[in-house]
Chains A and B, each alone.
Chain A
Amino acid sequence: MVENRPIGRALTHLVLILGVTFLCFPVWMALVASTHPPEALSRAPIPLWFGGQAWENYKTILSGGLSQAGGVPVARMMLNSAVMALGITLGKIAISLLSAFAIVYFRFPFRMAFFWMIFITLMLPVEVRILPTYDVMVKLSLLNSWGGLIVPLIASATATFLFRQFFLTVPDELVEAARIDRAGPMRFFWDILLPLSRTNIAAIFIILFIYGWNQYLWPLIITTDESLYTVVMGIGRMMNAGEALPVWHLIMATAVLAMLPPVLVVLAMQRLFVKGLVESEK
């Protein structure tokens, strides 16, 4: 800031406080609503401060779920979401590291063709080709399976680009040194490239974990088996089943639980997250 005028400074903070309020208010209300008995939420205006039933609400939802929506315990759904998110994240990182390594460190026929094949997947989000993809899943009998939930989502152009970008900045001398020491390509990959990529892997891990955890449409069409429900998609089912009923306190408790893991990841690893986000888009 060039000038240091009190009015300008006050305005700056006012804008920021308004922004923070706007972004935090919906979650505040969700937290508040999740601590009240259903009667408190049955007519307007609903309370703006916490009630005394947090323990009961969260216990109900974690162990029993919402009976009108199939009664799948939210604890089970959280576990499923975690498995799915971690599966997608680790899968994406593994295959992207390998393909970026191949594209940067080897010369071979059709190298650029493969590069473009990976690139083009950026253009085809699941949402736009949903029915034919579902058909393929039926043909491969992957419905209602962990493989079906995870594998189709692990192709990743974004992660491949990020690692390619990074590998290009790794000094050539390292390869030369490795070759003088007679290390083969895979040895170089494990002992030199991978340790150097640690920060980048951690940064992209955050972005991909959030992507995996927040999947909605894919689990919605792939799973009909309740034991595979994930929490973000489960909340959609609760909304459909419970909208007419006075269960907002339970839906909001579930929403709070569904937000918790990705939000904690972002807050705990803020610097890496910002780095991963800004750099993976370049």
Chain B
Amino acid sequence: MQKRVVFRSKSLPYLLLAPQIIVTVVFFFWPAYQALESSLFIEDAFGFSREFVGFDNFRALFADDVYLASFKVTLVFGFSVTLLTMGISLALAVAADRALRGATAYRTFLIWPYAVAPAIAGVLWHFLMNPSLGIVSYWLDALFGTDWNHYVSGQQALLMVIVAASWKQISYNFLFFLAGLQSIPRSLVEAAAIDRAGPTRRFWTIVFPLLAPTTFFLLVVNLVYAFFDTFSLIDATTHGGPANATSTLVVKVYQTGFVGQDYGASAAQSVILMLIVIAMTIVQFRYIDRRVNY
């Protein structure tokens, strides 16, 4: 889409673009290039000398069991958060769309967690699940006899960060599902009702297919969120532990770089992450036209 009428000026547009482009080049392209470059070198611990090693850093990563394990953790974490969030939000959105009374009040109570920082979400759940005084772990013990201790059990730690990350993301999904539901023409649903399709049948044959573009969009957004935006949540609570059970790729790249001071390996991990983000963004934008057409 383009404007029919435009202004004419040789230098003004470049001046207007300059601030954005300068920030982008200095803080995005330069570091990205540095990551690419230093992923091909091995640097000594003091930064005095470095040696070109080709793809050795990458080869070392893919031979490293700990790194491969963090791939697995990331996938389990990402898909669990996505499924849990989308399932709950869809149920809430369908209910909010049907509720005639109090719909606005419900919406208000459902959207505010969007504003809570992922790090704070982690801290809140960490407190609730604390093995010695957390109220939820106390209830779990009283009701099911579960011995909750995420400082020891890797699975429980992972479950805790999954719940915390999903809790924070529900509001966002809820709003998009609700907007999607409200854009479905009432006449379609009513026509199906006249044909004696019950609420369940109507949902699966009419509403859900019409929501597909929203669902697909949210799927990608949630995966991106779980893969990249949850660093703070994990860092403020489990630090990737115990025994790397919650160490996702982003936690790993931070720890390799800042704790382990291994420049080459961290840069190689950055390159891999960038490839993943680029792939996901392309997928997202290939389908964006379909999304608008609901």
Interface positions of A (Cβ within 8 A of B): 1-3, 8, 11-13, 15-16, 19-20, 22-27, 29-30, 33, 41-46, 48, 94-96, 98-99, 101-108, 111, 114, 117-118, 120-125, 127-136, 140, 151-152, 154-155, 160, 168, 172, 175-176, 179, 184-186, 188, 210, 213-214, 216-217, 220-221, 232-233, 235-236, 239, 248, 251-252, 255, 258-259, 262-263, 265-267, 270, 273-274, 277-278, 281-282
Residue of B nearest to A277 (CB): B175
Contact residues in A for B98 (Cβ distance below 8 Å): 1, 8, 12
User: Chain A CB within 10 Å — which of B1, B12, B16, B125 has the most?
Assistant: B16
B189 at the binding interface (Cβ < 8 Å)? yes
A32 CB to closest chain B CB (Å) equals 9
A278 touching B175, Cβ below 8 Å:
yes
B135 CB to closest chain A CB (Å) equals 6
Q: Given A26-B127, A41-B133, 5 other A-B contacts at CB below 8 A?
A: A8-B199, A33-B127, A95-B19, A108-B10, A248-B133
Contact residues in B for A258 (Cβ distance below 8 Å): 117, 120
State which of B1, B8, B38 has its C-beta within 8 Å of the C-beta of A168.
Answer: B1
Contact residues in B for A172 (Cβ distance below 8 Å): 3-5
Q: Please, how many residues of chain B have a CB less than 8 angstroms from a CB on the other chain?
A: 104
State which of A105, A132, A179, A210 has its C-beta within 8 Å of the C-beta of B267.
Answer: A132
Contact residues in B for A106 (Cβ distance below 8 Å): 6-9, 12-13, 16
B119 touching A216, Cβ below 8 Å:
yes
B66 at the binding interface (Cβ < 8 Å)? no
State which of A15, A104, A125, A140 has its C-beta within 8 Å of the C-beta of B95.
Answer: A15
B270 touching A12, Cβ below 8 Å:
no
State which of B130, B172, B232, B258 has its C-beta within 8 Å of the C-beta of A277.
Answer: B172
B175 CB to closest chain A CB (Å) equals 6
Q: What 7 pairs across the A-B complex have the smallest Cβ distances?
A: A216-B232, A214-B117, A262-B115, A131-B257, A102-B16, A128-B273, A132-B34
Known contacts A3-B193, A44-B138, A176-B5, A133 near B167 by CB under 8 Å: no
B residues 187-232 touching A (CB-CB < 8 Å): 189-190, 193, 199, 202, 217, 221, 228-229, 231-232
B21 at the binding interface (Cβ < 8 Å)? yes
Known contacts A1-B98, A15-B91, A277-B175, A175 near B135 by CB under 8 Å: no
B residues 105-155 touching A (CB-CB < 8 Å): 106-121, 123-128, 130, 132-135, 137-138
State which of A22, A118, A136, A214 has its C-beta within 8 Å of the C-beta of B27.
Answer: A136
Contact with A along B9-26 (1 / 0, CB 8 A): 110111011011101111
B116 touching A262, Cβ below 8 Å:
yes
B109 touching A20, Cβ below 8 Å:
yes
Residue of B nearest to A279 (CB): B179
- Give the CA-CA distance A179 to B5 in the complex, in Å: 10
B106 touching A255, Cβ below 8 Å:
no
B157 at the binding interface (Cβ < 8 Å)? no
State which of A41, A124, A265 has its C-beta within 8 Å of the C-beta of B277.
Answer: A124
A152 touching B23, Cβ below 8 Å:
yes
A130 touching B1, Cβ below 8 Å:
no
- Give the CA-CA distance A132 to B35 in the complex, in Å: 6
B118 touching A214, Cβ below 8 Å:
yes
User: Chain A CB within 10 Å — which of B24, B99, B120, B134 has the most?
Assistant: B120
Known contacts A132-B38, A154-B23, A267 near B112 by CB under 8 Å: yes
State which of B26, B32, B176 has its C-beta within 8 Å of the C-beta of A132.
Answer: B32
A124 touching B236, Cβ below 8 Å:
no
B24 touching A127, Cβ below 8 Å:
no
A216 touching B20, Cβ below 8 Å:
no
B175 touching A217, Cβ below 8 Å:
no
- Give the CA-CA distance A188 to B8 in the complex, in Å: 13
A129 touching B171, Cβ below 8 Å:
no
B40 at the binding interface (Cβ < 8 Å)? no
Residue of B nearest to A97 (CB): B16
Contact residues in A for B127 (Cβ distance below 8 Å): 26, 29-30, 33, 248, 251-252
- Give the CA-CA distance A281 to B292 in the complex, in Å: 11
B24 touching A121, Cβ below 8 Å:
yes
A2 touching B193, Cβ below 8 Å:
yes
Contact residues in A for B237 (Cβ distance below 8 Å): 239
- Give the CA-CA distance A125 to B293 in the complex, in Å: 29
